[in-house]
Structure 1
Amino acid sequence: MRRMTYAQAIEDALAQAMAADERVVVFGEDVHALRMNLYARFGERRVRPTPISESAFLGAGVAAAMAGLRPVVELIMIDFLAVATDAIINHAAKIDAFSGGQWQVPLVVRAGCGGGYGDGGQHSQALWGWLAHIPGLKVVVPSTPADAGGLLMAALADEGPVIFLEHQLLAEDWLEYLGSGGRTTVSYDIPAEGREGEVPDHWDAIEIGQVAFRRTGTDLTIAGVGVGIHRAAAAAESLATNGISASVLDLRTVAPLNREALVNDVRRTGRLLVVDEDYCHFGLTGELAAALLEAGLAPQYARVAVNETIPFAPARERAALPNVERIVEAARRLVAR
């Protein structure tokens, strides 16, 4: 085993995949700088910087995938997908269905996501619930370095489009690139166990759709993805001092969603608290509630999510995001019902 940061694990897995398969190519804004090691090793033919035009290079990624390559297209932030939704939502997600399986789009879209570093509501969204809403898209949100590398290997092997979301508080290259440059007064909420950890000596794929239990408890299940898992684990530690035992269920992927694992654990605990840095309404929080109801369960339920446009002011941003204090308070109320 080795120790790597979250960002190092992703780049190491990507390098392994590129060495094994020359069809794997990388392109996007500033990738010659952001992926300097890959650029030096594989050259500009396979690590290609692009103009600042997301609609152009995401469209090119769809075409490249259809033509036989396995492109990894990098968006600086998932927020910027809004200017290129046609390529992903109307084409990449639908080509397999429209062609009766004759065409596939083995495309990976990497993007930073999430807030907590003071960059405002146009640069801090999660949006995984919106993307998971579209049939044909897989949406992956790893929470640890080991999961990030393993899930990237699975995404690269997939025959369809995969949105690979990296929370900017876990992936320090995104944070350094985006959240520095004068923000010396900003205090980042970065869980150390998410940013760095043990990874395998050789990367194998972690099946997309498999969950991980970060903690097992008896009184309630706390479910989520990404940095929310680390905040949920911190909340569970605090709750334990007051005699409340919580499971922490890392969904790992939003689409496909492992409903069976969720249902089984909530059937045991009788309560579900969803921690979601995406918007509260019409997203992951509601989908998990629906999964339980459709399975015939009627558990106690609560959610901690984002209810407004993410503010720029640090104090207001912290209050808007699902921080540890909000999770603890919601869990206590849920257990007290």
Structure 2
Amino acid sequence: MREVTYREAVREAMCEEMRRDESVYFMGEDIGAYCGAFGVSKGMLQEFGETRVRETPISETAFVGAGIGSAITGMRPIVELMFSDFMAVCYDQIINQAAKMHFMFAGKVQVPMVIRTPSGGGTGAAAQHSQSLEQMYCHVPGLKVVVPSTPYDAKGLLKSSIRDNNTVIFLEQKRLYKEKGEIPEEEYLVPLGKADIKRPGRDVSVITYGRMVQMSLQAAAKLAEEGIDVEVLDLRTLSPLDTDAIIATVKKTGRAVIVHEAVQFAGFGGEIAGVIADSEAFYRLDAPIKRVGGLYCPVPFNPQLETQSFPTQERIEAAVRGTLQAY
């Protein structure tokens, strides 16, 4: 095992897949000499050249459309959007073209494309560069949605995403790029659609993904000092969703706290709660399901206000204590 940052893990996944498969190429804004807004593609232009690391104009509609066109003719593009918020510019290309072509052409067309993009807040980038919009893509049949929380998962899930024959939305929370973690020296893949228990526990299940995994683990460590044993389930992939893992953890503990950075209202947490309510896990609940999500407001620029607009460790701890005190 060796230690790498989340950003290095993403770069390694892309480079390994580009060396393995000539049909894989990478394109986006400022990904060459500038190495991307968060330095993820450092050194890739020098290794692969301008043909396979392609700088694009500032037109997300145009280059996502170009990625779709190349994918249906046999290439496997990795398309980087500088910020996930910019998906709003090319939303039609994603939901009406990439997601639907396989179905509309009776399975004769595939769109094996990965759209990689930094997501979420915590960097002071304000309302138009800090949103968590994953629920919008989970609602669209034909898209897969991946949200890794560790360097190990980021590399393994990205390699699986590049090899997948569907369009994959790959969301990288900005605050995680500097996080370090161990990965194997040898090649490995992490399958899409499989959740992971990041911390086993017996009293309460915290179901989460992305940056909130780290915050939930910190809350679990603090609660352990009070004798509260929290299980943390990292979904890793939102579509397809590992419903079996959700049901199993809730059946085990009898209590569920759902945590995500995105706005709580109409957020993905509602789908997780629905999975629990529609399953045998519902009859094992010893307390109502609790959700901890972002406030229903644009992300503020002010750092103190921004911090409070997202779930905090204290809010997660309070939700866990609340489920234990419910009955």
TM above 0.5, one fold? yes
Corresponding residue number in structure 1 for 2:114 = 108
Shift of 1:85: 0.4
> Mapping of 1:65-144 within 5 angstroms?
65-144=71-150
Letter of the structure 1 residue corresponding to residue 150 of structure 2: T
Residues 23 and 74 in structure 2, CA contact (< 8 A), matched pair in contact too: yes
Corresponding residue number in structure 2 for 1:16 = 16
Rounded Cα–Cα distance in structure 2 between residues aligned with 1:95 and 1:59: 13
1:313 to 302, 315, 324: 302
Letter of the structure 2 residue corresponding to residue 74 of structure 1: E
Residues 138 and 238 in structure 2, CA contact (< 8 A), matched pair in contact too: yes
Render the CA deviation track for 1:45-64: whole Å, top value 9, x for unaligned.
00000011111111111111
Alignment size in residue pairs: 315
Corresponding residue number in structure 2 for 1:165 = 171
Rounded Cα–Cα distance in structure 2 between residues aligned with 1:233 and 1:110: 25
Corresponding residue number in structure 2 for 1:204 = 188
Rounded Cα–Cα distance in structure 2 between residues aligned with 1:332 and 1:86: 43
Ranges in structure 2 where 5+ consecutive residues have no aligned partner? 36-40
Render the CA deviation track for 1:78-110: whole Å, top value 9, x for unaligned.
100000001100000011111111000000000
Rounded Cα–Cα distance in structure 2 between residues aligned with 1:110 and 1:43: 20
Rounded Cα–Cα distance in structure 1 between residues aligned with 2:190 and 2:143: 18
Indicate whether 1:155 and 2:173 are aligned. no
Ranges in structure 1 where 5+ consecutive residues have no aligned partner? 173-194
Shift of 1:36: 3.7
Corresponding residue number in structure 1 for 2:217 = 233
- Aligned CA-pair RMSD: 1.0
Residues 222 and 247 in structure 1, CA contact (< 8 A), matched pair in contact too: yes
Residues 239 and 328 in structure 1, CA contact (< 8 A), matched pair in contact too: yes
Letter of the structure 1 residue corresponding to residue 185 of structure 2: D
Render the CA deviation track for 1:133-167: whole Å, top value 9, x for unaligned.
11111010001111100001100110010011100
Corresponding residue number in structure 2 for 1:185 = none
Corresponding residue number in structure 2 for 1:25 = 25
Rounded Cα–Cα distance in structure 2 between residues aligned with 1:15 and 1:277: 30
Q: Percent identity?
A: 42
Corresponding residue number in structure 2 for 1:278 = 262
Corresponding residue number in structure 1 for 2:292 = 304
Corresponding residue number in structure 2 for 1:177 = none
Residues 6 and 151 in structure 2, CA contact (< 8 A), matched pair in contact too: yes
Render the CA deviation track for 1:30-73: whole Å, top value 9, x for unaligned.
01021241110010000000011111111111111011100000
Render the CA deviation track for 1:230-277: whole Å, top value 9, x for unaligned.
000000011111121110000001111100111011011111101101
Rounded Cα–Cα distance in structure 2 between residues aligned with 1:304 and 1:203: 36
Render the CA deviation track for 1:172-211: whole Å, top value 9, x for unaligned.
4xxxxxxxxxxxxxxxxxxxxxx11111113322100111
Residues 13 and 203 in structure 1, CA contact (< 8 A), matched pair in contact too: no
Instruction: Give the stretch that moved more between structures: 43-52 or 273-282.
Output: 273-282
Indicate whether 1:57 and 2:45 are aligned. no
Residues 274 and 302 in structure 1, CA contact (< 8 A), matched pair in contact too: yes
Letter of the structure 2 residue corresponding to residue 112 of structure 1: P
Corresponding residue number in structure 1 for 2:325 = 336
